[in-house]
Amino acid sequence: MTSDENPAKREFSLATLFSDLSREFSTLARQETQLVKAEIAAKLADAKAGAGGIAIGGGLLLVGILILALAWVAGVNQMLGATALDYPWLSPLLVGLALTAAGTGLLLWGRHNLKLGDLAPRRSGESLRRDSELLKEQFK
C-alpha cells in the first residue's frame, strides 16, 4: 500500500507536519526574542560601564585641573620671591599631573566603550535574517 492509495494517512501526515512546523516556528520565535533581550542587556551593561568611566574620569580630570591651577599659583609665587631650594608647588604639580593623566585615560576608555552603534543587537539580527532566508527557501 502506498501513500497514494491511502489519502487519510497522507492528510494526517500533512496536518502533523503543519502542526509541527507551527510549533517549531513558535519555539524559534520565542528563542530569538530571548536572544535579542539577552544581547540588548549585555550591550546596556557595557554602556553603563562606559558611562561610569566617563563620570569618574571627568571628576578626576576636574580635580587634576584644580590641583594644577594651585601648583601654577604656588610656582608663580615661588619664582617671584622665594628661595630656589624651596619648591612647595612640586608636590601639587606631580599629583595634578597624575590625576589628570588618570582622568584622561578613564575618559578615553569610557568614550571608547560608549559607542552608540555597538548597542544594536547584531548577532540576533543575523540569526533572524538566516531564519527568514531559510523559511523563504522552504516555501518556494
pLDDT of residue 59: 94
> Is the pTM above the cut of 0.75?
no
Q: Most confidently modeled of 31-35, 80-84, 136-140?
A: 31-35
Helix (H, G, I), strand (E, B) or coil at 140: coil
Cα distances from 111 to residues 19, 65, 97, 104, 107, in angstroms, run 50, 20, 21, 10, 6
pLDDT of residue 128: 72
What pLDDT band is residue 97 in, cutting at 50, 70 and 90?
A: confident
Q: How far apart are alpha carbons 69 and 61 in whole angstroms?
A: 12
Which three three-digit cell numbers place residue 132?
A: 527568514
Percent of the chain with pLDDT over 70: 71
Residue 84 has pLDDT above 50, yes or no: no
More confident residue, 19 or 135: 19
Quick count: other Cβ atoms within 10 Å of Cβ 6? 12
Helix (H, G, I), strand (E, B) or coil at 96: helix
